[in-house]
Structure formats: structure tokens, C-alpha cells
């Protein structure tokens, strides 16, 4: 079975929170759990997270949603292009975690062991 790691990172690209699900689970289904209890001035995400529910959750946090609109959205919602350039920090965070061979190759068969190693690697970052 494949797994997928959903991650929340701070402005410096450090991991804050993880959720591990099955590989078939879409990223946008885990957004409310990742943002629960968080405070931010802006939330940066890619087009996959462009949903009204997610934008509402960000508005409840009193934060700015920096999410480009999907192509099929009827009413285009503008976003701050300058802030959006910082979205690569989450990608950098994943790349730093992939420097740990155990993370990159997923040697652990049990999810609980893999999760434990992710917390260890995140603490080292």
C-alpha cells in the first residue's frame, strides 16, 4: 500500500505538522486538520487547495489566502504573486527530509515506525 505525507511548514520551511494517509487520498481533504489551532498572517498553497471551504477556514483564522484560482473556477480570485513565490519553501522542506535515506526510500513497513522517523528527522531539521 502506498502512503502520502501531508505536511504544514512555517515561513522558514521548517515542518510543523504531518498527517500520513493512503496514497489515494487527495491533499485537500487534510487541510482542516493541518491548520487546526494554527495562527498565521497568510496561508500559501497551490491550485490543488483552491476550494471555498479551505478559503473560509483561512478567513476564520484572519489570514490571507495566497492560493491561485483553478482554471475551472467561474469567478477568478486574485492572489498576492509576491507572497506566492515563497511556496517553494514547503518543497525545500520535503527535499531536506529526503536527504534521510530512510525517509526517501520508505524502508519502514509500519506507518507508526515511519511516522516516528519523520518526527525525528523533523526535529533534526
CA atoms within 13 Å, Cβ hemisphere of 54? 23
Mean pLDDT of 92-107: 84
Is the pLDDT higher at 3 or at 54? 54
Sign of the alpha-carbon dihedral angle for 5, 46, 12, 35? negative
As a whole number of angstroms, the distance between CA 74 and CA 76 comes to: 6
> How high is the pLDDT of residue 64?
93
Among 3.30.70, 1.10.10, 1.10.287, 3.30.420, name the CATH number for the domain at 3-124: 3.30.420
Element (H, E) at 60: helix 52-60
Q: What's the mean pLDDT when you consider all of the chain?
A: 88
* Residue whose C-alpha is closest to residue 11's, from 47, 37, 44: 44
Domain boundaries, the chain: 3-124
Q: How would residue 58 be classed by pLDDT, with cut points 50, 70 and 90?
A: very high
CA atoms within 13 Å, Cβ hemisphere of 31? 20
Percent of the chain with pLDDT over 90: 20
What CA dihedral angle connects 120, 122, 124 and 125, to 10 degrees? 170
> Does this model's pTM top 0.85?
no
> How high is the pLDDT of residue 1?
58
As a whole number of angstroms, the distance between CA 111 and CA 21 comes to: 9
Q: How would residue 60 be classed by pLDDT, with cut points 50, 70 and 90?
A: very high
For 15-55, how does the pLDDT look when each residue is reduced to its tens digit (9 = 90+)? 989 888 888 888 888 888 888 888 899 999 988 889 899 99
Mean pLDDT of 87-106: 86
Amino acid at each position: 500500500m502506498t502512503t502520502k505525507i501531508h505536511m504544514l511548514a512555517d515561513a522558514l520551511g521548517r515542518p510543523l505538522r504531518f498527517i500520513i494517509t493512503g496514497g489515494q487520498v487527495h491533499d485537500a481533504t487534510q487541510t482542516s486538520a493541518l491548520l487546526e489551532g494554527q495562527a498565521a498572517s497568510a496561508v500559501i498553497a497551490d491550485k490543488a487547495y483552491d476550494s471555498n471551504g479551505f478559503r473560509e477556514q483561512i478567513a476564520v483564522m484572519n489570514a490571507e489566502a495566497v492560493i491561485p484560482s483553478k482554471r475551472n473556477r467561474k469567478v477568478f480570485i486574485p492572489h498576492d504573486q509576491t507572497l506566492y513565490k515563497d511556496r517553494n519553501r514547503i518543497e525545500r522542506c520535503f527535499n531536506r527530509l529526503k536527504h534521510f535515506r530512510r525517509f526517501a526510500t520508505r524502508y519502514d513497513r509500519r506507518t507508526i515506525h515511519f511516522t516516528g522517523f519523520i518526527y525525528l528527522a523533523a526535529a533534526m531539521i
